Amino acid sequence: MTAPARARTRDGATPERRVRVGAVTIAPVVQFHYRVDPLRFFPDLDVGAIDEDAWYWRPPYREDGMLVIDIGAFVVRTPQRTLLVDAGVGNGKHRPNPSFDDRDDHWFAALHRAGVTADDIDTVVFTHLHVDHVGFATRFDGSAWVPAFPNARYLTTAAELDHWTGGSAAGDRARLGDYIGDSVLPLRDAGVLDVVEPDLRICEEVRLVPAAGHTPGNICVEVSSAGRRAVFAGDMVHHALQLAFPERSTDFCVDRCGASDARQELLRDIADRDVLLFPAHFPNATPGRIRTDPAGGYRYDPVEGEPL
């Protein structure tokens, strides 16, 4: 069992805001934000051909030539349930990526600002099992990594778990660090990881939607209440550029064509309707509505919500 990395304090992220979807309250819990070279996400992108004044190529989506990426999770509170969608990078974990390694963020304080504690969470839904979506699922108790939410069941799909624990993902695991070993397998060992169908209805207001492509068992989380609707897209829309060019997938997609198809299907479904999209990595975790752009692709209409 690997001990946690030596902690280093990092700056906090932008204060979060809550959004209401009928009787459901949604609050982002941002861990941190960082900048990344566009070619790391889109290796074949002709950066020089992009209009510098394009909406998706200006702040807050791009600053000083770098893409702006947020890392975190979302709290979803229904009248009966308290769920967490994804779980960030985590703290004190050894990672090859310097931006992910050895973090000591005040994420649980942000969770408290969202109105809940770790004990309140009854369900953790992983849209997929990438390193930046599972980290806070476990904590180090002095001798081992254990579930961080003591009253929660953790949900993933068979295709997702099989892929990331199987031989086909060995190269990715070596590149990303032993995050499956410290953030996913301890859940299985503790008997709290549930392998569910990708179209599971969790409760009256929340259901899963199959969206394979970015990863083999990737899912969306859909919230419906009082005639309103919201969709947690995970990494289906990693950056705003993919709204303007929905056919373009990132270098992190296991199946780029499948990811492109799933993204375009989602955007066609929700465009020009009163549906909130919650991408996992947009700056400040700001949700928005999708609007068809007459020039091609789609635009993003952000919704600020209420301060926590």
pLDDT at 191: 99
**Could you give the CA distance from residue 221 to residue 133 in angstroms, rounded to a whole number?**
14
Cα 174 to Cα 124, 159, 164, 255, distances in angstroms: 25, 20, 11, 19
Nearest to 130 by CA among 240, 229, 250: 250
Note the pTM of the prediction, 2 decimals. Answer: 0.94
pLDDT at 15: 54
pLDDT at 308: 61
Indicate the residue type of 265.
Answer: E
Residue 275 β-bridge partners = 229
47-84 residues labelled b (16+ CB within 10 A) or e (exposed): eeebeeeeebbeeebbeeeebbbbbbbbbbbbeebbbb
pLDDT at 172: 79
**Could you give the CA distance from residue 188 to residue 75 in angstroms, rounded to a whole number?**
22
Instruction: Provide the edge-to-edge strand list for the sheet that holds 201-203.
Output: 201-203, 206-210, 219-225, 228-234, 275-279, 288-292, 298-302
23: helix, coil or strand? coil
**Could you give the CA distance from residue 42 to residue 39 in angstroms, rounded to a whole number?**
5
Query: Average pLDDT of each block of 10 consecutive residues along the chain (308 residues)?
Result: 39 66 97 95 95 96 96 98 99 96 96 96 99 98 97 98 89 85 98 98 99 98 98 98 98 96 98 98 94 96 82
Cα 44 to Cα 25, 47, 142, 250, 258, distances in angstroms: 39, 9, 45, 10, 18
């009163």: which residue's tokens? Answer: 274
Mind listing the domains of the chain with CATH numbers? 21-303 (3.60.15.10)
Task: Name the strand (E) or helix (H) holding 260.
Answer: helix 256-270
């050895």: which residue's tokens? Answer: 102
Could you tell me where the beta strands, DSSP code E, fall in the chain?
Answer: 8-9, 17-21, 24-36, 62-63, 66-77, 82-85, 103-104, 123-125, 138-140, 145-147, 153-157, 193-196, 201-203, 206-210, 219-225, 228-234, 275-279, 288-292, 298-302, 306-307
CB atoms within 10 A of CB 112: 15
**Could you give the CA distance from residue 264 to residue 255 in angstroms, rounded to a whole number?**
14
The token duo for 298 is 């789609």
105 DSSP 8-state letter: -
**Could you give the CA distance from residue 197 to residue 260 in angstroms, rounded to a whole number?**
22
pLDDT at 305: 79
User: What is the Cβ-side half-sphere exposure of residue 154, based on CA atoms within 13 angstroms?
Assistant: 28
The token duo for 152 is 């929660």
